[in-house]
Amino acid sequence: MVGAITNKPALYKPIMINGEKAQILFDTGATVNIINSKYVNTNSLLSLQKDATLSGIAAKTVYPLGMCQFTLEIKNKIYPPMRAYVLEGIEFDLIIGHSEMRRMGICIDYKNDSFLVNQREIKSDDEINANVCSVIRKYENDDLIRSMISKDLTHGEQKKLFDILKRYKNVFSFQGKLERVK
């Protein structure tokens, strides 16, 4: 970020993340969502350093710790889960990029310094909540792939699933255990 923020225009809003007071930035120049690592159980994240690098306005490259999935609630409307890169030591607690803003119908009216969602103004006392619902980990090694396959599957099913996941590990990410649908 260039320069100090002396006032809080419509882009910046107070938010509750997992029940804690925080600040959200609706960043019209960001192509991804970013969340501060203090709101995510980083013990369950695997490094994505080999898979992802992010760079910003100062062309500084950063390596995310991983990804998570979260929901956003604005004025009692819960939006479908979205993904965010997890970073340490960022200025804002949550940054929402322009593609999510477009999907949610968010508009920043700079002339009137107002924040609109589907043409409804969001006032400073309107509640915005975010909840981290899961951690997304990449399949990086054989042991990780094996650990996520349910032991309730037959040996043959486990082997087939392992072979598919290993072969296409660059395509898959997961949340939870991989098991038979009941």
* Average pLDDT value for the chain: 77
Residues 6 or more apart whose CB falls under 8 angstroms from that of 125 comprise none
Is 44:52 a contact under the CB 8 Å cutoff? no
**Is pLDDT at 4 greater than 50 in this prediction?**
no
Position 102 scores a pLDDT of: 92
Q: Where are the beta strands (DSSP E) in 60-155?
A: 61-62, 66-74, 77-78, 82-87, 94-96, 106-109, 114-117, 120-121, 128-138
SS3 158: helix
**pTM for the whole structure:** 0.67
Contact indicator for 135, 41 with CB cutoff of 8 Å: yes
Residue 144 confidence class, pLDDT cut points 50, 70, 90:
low
pLDDT at 33 (0 to 100): 92
Please give the pLDDT value at position 143.
64
Quick: pLDDT tens for 116-135.
888 888 887 788 889 887 77
